[in-house]
Structure 1
Amino acid sequence: MALCVGIAGGTGSGKTTLSRYLAGNLEEFRVRVIHMDKFYRELRPRTIAPLSGQEYEDFNHPDALDLEAVGRELREALEEEDIVLIEGFLLFAVKELVDRLDYKIFVDCPSDERLARRLGKFKSGKYTQEETVREYLELVRPRHDSWVEPTRWQADLVLNGSLPTAKGGEMLLEWIRFKAAQPMPRSI
């Protein structure tokens, strides 16, 4: 049975970067990375921002995810791999997934830095910089405050997402290697 490590934190905090770093440095193991943002439903909830009245497609709520598909992928990975890294900003908000994690990491990053990263990520997309900032302020940040920030207390380790990935990543690699080398009894 695989060692299962969950990585949560706000949008743009560095979860994907950390999971890629870890997977790329664990070549001696069979590793699967599950990115929860690959499991959005086609029909997502819509919400209206309270101050502007702007309607948004809400990617920032657990109902936007196909949690059954995430669960199936996780169960399959736990049977087939040595290590499973699952990352998503809503990961710790879903009890059924949290219960399967052997180790929980929260990547903490200030909101202004997360916004700057979001702007860089979406600069060539379908939204203007102004639209990206407005959506962040009206929807993403409030949803972070409701669904992500309150879950950080569940983490076994909080990493500073402002630092280079290798700073906390090296320590995590050693811990993961140590744990993955031990038998992991688990019932699915």
Structure 2
Amino acid sequence: MEKVKKPIIIGVTGGSGSGKTTVSRSILDRLPNTSIMILQQDSYYKDQAHKTMEERREVNYDHPLAFDTDLLVEQLNDLLHRKSIKQPVYDYKILTRSNEVIEQEPKDVIILEGILILDDERLRNLMDIKVFVDTDDDIRIIRRIQRDTKERARDLDSIISQYLATVKPMYHQFIEPSKRYADIIVPEGGRNQVAIDLLSTKVKSILKNHENNTNID
């Protein structure tokens, strides 16, 4: 039977505004000739089409129950077995899934990015490398304000209210404790070029070792 190379999964987590996306994209940029993709946990917020807009606004989006983790685990396993997936698309303006999906083909490297990916044991068990991006609270809230006002059409009062009500407490209850599962902790997010270089080198090493990988079951 022809051998099929099993993809590797790199989990990149940290609080909202920590620099997860910058770290993920920096790894991607350092592996230009590699079959690589970024899969964001945010795409897997639960479908809320059955709820009113008022009910959707009341949801705690920083709690593990806000995510359809069963679907994420299922689709990651499909990618690991070299099967394509139909990734959901989440619309932040209407606070539920779009009718569209993204056809994702399997890649050799999957960067899984999200605030709560280390909270779930099933996800952790799928990862080859687990990274926690550790950034000061003040920097994270400033970045969140900048992002949500520009990209998600939100006003300042609603951003601050949500941060105090759910984002900050959920960080301390669920996200920060998951740091203990990380293989690598990256201080200062995307500004830490040394850590990103080391991560990229490690990924290259794993890929090289995977050249004679065993069959996928």
- TM-score in terms of structure 1 length: 0.87
Q: In the alignment, what sits opposite 1:155?
A: 182
Identity %: 24
Paired residues of 2:14 and 2:20 also in contact (CA < 8 A): yes
How far apart are 1:111 and its partner, in Å? 1.0
Q: What are the superposed Cα offsets for residues 25-49 of structure 1, whole Å, 9 maximum, x if unpaired?
A: 21222112111101111229x9xxx
Q: 1:61 to 1:154 in 2, by over 3 A?
A: same
Give the distance between the partners of 2:41 and 2:191, measured in 1 at CA: 23
Q: In the alignment, what sits opposite 1:168?
A: 195
CA RMSD of aligned residues (A): 2.1
Q: What are the superposed Cα offsets for residues 147-172 of structure 1, whole Å, 9 maximum, x if unpaired?
A: 10111010011001356153321111
Q: 1:154 to 1:187 in 2, by over 3 A?
A: farther
Q: Would you say 1:56 and 2:58 are equivalent positions?
A: yes
Give the distance between the partners of 2:215 and 2:121, measured in 1 at CA: 17
| Count of aligned positions | 179
- Show structure 1 runs of 5+ residues with no match: 47-54
- Show structure 2 runs of 5+ residues with no match: 1-5, 52-56, 83-105
Q: What are the superposed Cα offsets for residues 125-150 of structure 1, whole Å, 9 maximum, x if unpaired?
A: 44321221121011100011111011
Give the distance between the partners of 2:201 and 2:145, measured in 1 at CA: 33
Q: 1:165 to 1:94 in 2, by over 3 A?
A: same
Q: Would you say 1:14 and 2:58 are equivalent positions?
A: no
Instruction: Select which of 48, 53, 71 maps to 1:69.
Output: 71
- TM-score in terms of structure 2 length: 0.76
Give the distance between the partners of 1:132 and 1:66, measured in 2 at CA: 24
